[in-house]
Structure 1
């Protein structure tokens, strides 16, 4: 059953979504970029389907989820809205890869060959290729997902030859920092990796970096997709 919305609920999400787009536009202007070249991914993980519907009513179509079963449940609730584009952005466990392969249009968190192989073999034949971003551990944190920058080439080569995967670019979640210079430094490192990869694969077009706390730095460094959750849906419980 499709979730029902109250007017108050919609206004709250609508106002936050409008502010998020305004923030992107301002950051793009300062970076002398076109804001139309930057996609807003609304990160709806841990939030109910009613929140997604409120954003949908305002024209938002790209949504990001991190927990497989929670996401699959919401996708099922909202299956009548065929124009929603679902992105999986969390770590992928081997025993959940089949669900990811069958339910999402994008996977932004492929960081090793084992997962790429499973997604390729488990993607249903009736569905278009799964759009893939390689997640890079650009700040080289031990506890964080993502491949090392020097592993990008091998992983990209494998993904590019897969019949059911489409290599689209790179994603990263750098170490948290309130210092803008530190933020930009990490993002520029990822931009360098992206530029290098694009010389080998000219068709790649997506550099997913930047979240609620560092959108400006990410856009200044060349991000084409920012992942915003808290500033749209509020603090997660």
Structure 2
């Protein structure tokens, strides 16, 4: 995909976000775009960065590290979106600014311990599995408060909010149901000391529904980059 195509697609996504925010009577600046660049090359990330997109999401650790090595000249904000594995917490804590998908108190402790002391605490969103699907990561809604409590005393972490990955759905009204459930859960769990201001939800096919339900971080991949498969020989 050419740089011009990425620029055009990125502009179209930003226009969708603007329209959805206005429809929800929200400030457009209250919604941040994370361009999900997994399976895309470093050249595509660089092209998007030139257009003003500075936050990128990756789901495969080694792929992400390879691309980070090629993009050290750019002040990119790196988001890891996916399941955390215990044997990879050191690299995640050192190489990323955000982790979306925290669902285990042991992983939380390891991420905190491995966070370099010269960096700000790692920003994390707790993943909530609202559908109960075994194939999906995340804690059950009634277990989220326990994980929040476990994270509260960890100096290397800062819990920013909640994240979910709902099942695909084509009906805009039905799309909103799990997204609304996450927002309502956040409202119940939020405290003055831990406001949980971030709701990480919404992808290419449901970003409008997510914004209507309060998303502050939308994770958009295909609509920005297309479906070009990642070539591991040219990250």
Structure 1 length as normaliser, TM-score? 0.93
- Equivalent residue in structure 2 for 1:143, among 135, 139, 148: 135
Any unmatched runs of 5+ in structure 1?
A: 1-7
CA displacement at 1:202 relative to structure 2: 4.1
For residue 184 of structure 1, the aligned residue among 153, 163, 176 is 176
1:197 is matched with: 189
1:139-189 CA-partner distances (Å, limit 9, x unpaired): 221110011001111111111211100010000001111111221111000
- In 2, Cα distance between the equivalents of 1:233 and 1:97? 28
- Matches of 1:35 and 1:139, distance apart in 2: 29
Q: Displacement, 1:201?
A: 3.8
How far residue 33 of structure 1 moved from its aligned partner, in angstroms, is: 1.2
Q: How does 1:129-140 map to 2 (within 5 A)?
A: 129-140=121-132
CA distance in 2, matches of 1:202, 1:105: 19
| Pairing partner for 2:14 from 21, 43, 58 | 21
1:29 positional shift: 1.3
Equivalent residue in structure 2 for 1:89, among 74, 81, 88: 81
Structure 1 runs, 4 residues or longer, greater than 3 Å off: 200-203
Q: Aligned to 2:5, which of 5, 12, 16?
A: 12
Report the 3-state secondary structure (helix = DSSP H, G, I; strand = E; otherwise coil) of the residue aligned with 2:178: helix
RMSD of aligned C-alpha atoms? 1.2
Q: How does 1:65-104 map to 2 (within 5 A)?
A: 65-81=58-74, 83-104=75-96
Deviation, structure 1 residue 114:
1.4
Candidates 79, 97, 100, aligned match of 1:108 = 100
Shift of 1:126: 1.6
Aligned to 1:43: 36
Structure 1 residues 201, 140: closer, same or farther in 2, change over 3 A? farther
SS class of match (1:218): helix
Q: Deviations 1:80-135 (Å, cap 9, x if unpaired)?
A: 21x21000001111111111011000001101111111101111112110001000
C-alpha separation in 2, matches of 1:24 and 1:207? 15
Normalising by structure 2, report the TM-score.
0.94
Of 216, 220, 226, which aligns to 1:228? 220
Of 203-212 and 193-202, more deviation after overlay is shown by 193-202
Describe the SS at the equivalent of 1:71.
Answer: helix
- Offset of residue 203 of structure 1: 3.8
**Shift in Å, 1:216:** 0.8
Separation (CA, whole Å) in 2 of partners of 1:70 and 1:202: 33
